[in-house]
Amino acid sequence: MRTALVAGARPNFVKIAPLLTALRALPGIEPLVVHTGQHYDESMSGSFFRDLEMTPPDVNLEVGSASHAVQTARIMERFDAFLDDARVDLVTVVGDVNSTVACALTAAKRHIPAAHVEAGLRSFDRRMPEEINRIVTDALSSYLFTPSRDADENLVREGRPRESIHFVGNVMVDSLLRFRGRARARSRALEALSLAPRSFALLTLHRPENVDDPEVLGRILAAVGEIQKDVRVVYPVHPRARRMMEAAGLASRAAAMRGLVMTEPMGYLEFVGLESEALFVLTDSGGVQEETTILGVPCLTVRENTERPVTVREGTNRIVGTDVAAVVGAAREIMSGGATREPRAPELWDGKAAERIAAVLAGAVGSTNAIRPADGEGVRRA
C-alpha cells in the first residue's frame, strides 16, 4: 500500500514526523511525504524538517500564500496532478489546515480513501475556517484517528460509522516526548534573550479571528501591554500577525513596549525549549495548548472556545477570551502563585499514537476489505 502523507503547515510537520517513522518500519506500506508548500519559507517550514530529523519531502507542491479559497484551489489542482502519476492507495492528512481539507476532497473525487489523523476535534464555532476544514475532512475520510474520547463522541453524533473511528492518542505528543530533552539542551533562546527559567511569559498569535480583526488584535496587545509591565513577554511573531499589526497601525504600539521581546518565528526545538521554561504561555494555538499540558506549563488561551477541551479538563489550559481585564487578571493570578494545578496527561498521550495508527493501517493492508473509500464502494490498488 502506498500512502501520500500530506503536510502543509508547521503543526503538520510535527504530526507526520512520528507517523512517517512508524509507517516506514512496517512491511507492505510505502509512505510518500507530500509538502503542499502552504508554509514555505525557512522559518515556517525548512527548519522543522531538520529539527524533526525528517528527510526532505518526496514532493513539494509549492502553493505559497493566498486567500483561503485560492490556496485551497491551488492545493487541489496541484495535488490532483500529483495523483495522476503517483498510484496512491490512501491519502493520509493531519490536522485542520487548508492542505488537510484540500487533499481529502481531491482524494474523494478520485475515489481514493483518506485517513484523517486528529479527527473529531470540534470548537463548535463555524466562524473558524479550521472548524469547516475539520468537519469536511471527517465527512470524507474512511479512517478517523482521534486524539481524545470527546473526539470519538463528536464523530458518532455526526453519524460517522463506529468502525471507522480509532482512538489512538496524540501524534503531536509523540514528537514532544521524543524531542523535549533535546530541545531544552539545544535551545539557545534563554541565553540569547538573557532570560532565566520561569522569569518570562511566551506569546503566540496566528488565528484569523485574532490577528485579522484590528479591534480584537488591539485588545490582545493592550492586555500584553499590561502584562509586560510585570514580566517580560517573548513573542515569536507569525508572518501573518506581523502583516496585520502593520496594516492596523499597531506595530508601533507593540514596538514601544519595553517588556515585550518580539523575535522572528522559531524552529521546533528552539520553541519547545523556550516553551518548557516559560512561567506561562498566552496563545491561540491548539497545538500549544496540547504541548503545555504535557510540559506542565500554565496556558492561557486567548479565544472564546477550544477544539481541545481535554487540555482544560485535564491539562494546564484555561480559556480566557480576549477581554483585556480577563486576560490580565488570569496572568496576574499565575504570577502571584495561584491558578495553577498539577496537570494530568490525557489518556493515550504517551508517545505511541503513531504506532497505533500504523498498526491499524497495517491490519487494513492484510484484510480482505483492505483500503476502501468512505462509501464502501470499490478498492483502488497500485
Within 10 Å of residue 219's Cβ, how many Cβ atoms?
18
Which amino acid is residue 212, in one-letter code? D
Identify which of 97, 116, 128, 129 has the alpha carbon closest to the alpha carbon of residue 158: 116
Within 10 Å of residue 191's Cβ, how many Cβ atoms?
8
Strands 299-301 and 280-283: parallel
Inter-residue contact 11 to 265 (CB < 8 Å): no
CA distance 44 to 53: 16
Q: What is the dihedral of CA 286, 288, 289, 295, to 10 degrees?
A: 150
- The active-site residue, picked from 39, 116, 166, 206, is 206
Inter-residue contact 283 to 207 (CB < 8 Å): no
Phi, psi of 183 (to 5 degrees): -65, -45
Strand partners, 34: 6, 59
Strands 299-301 and 90-94: unpaired
Strand partners, 283: 204, 301
By the 10 Å C-beta count (0-12 exposed, 13-18 middle, 19+ buried), 233 is classed as buried
Task: Spell out the residues 6+ positions from residue 309 whose beta carbon is closer than 8 angstroms to its own.
Answer: 150
Identify which of 21, 19, 99 has the alpha carbon closest to the alpha carbon of residue 63: 99
Phi, psi of 95 (to 5 degrees): 75, -145
Inter-residue contact 12 to 95 (CB < 8 Å): yes
Identify which of 307, 368, 313 has the alpha carbon closest to the alpha carbon of residue 346: 313
Inter-residue contact 273 to 299 (CB < 8 Å): no
Cell 500584553 belongs to which residue?
224
Q: Residue 238 catalytic?
A: no
Inter-residue contact 99 to 78 (CB < 8 Å): no
Residues with active-site annotation: 206
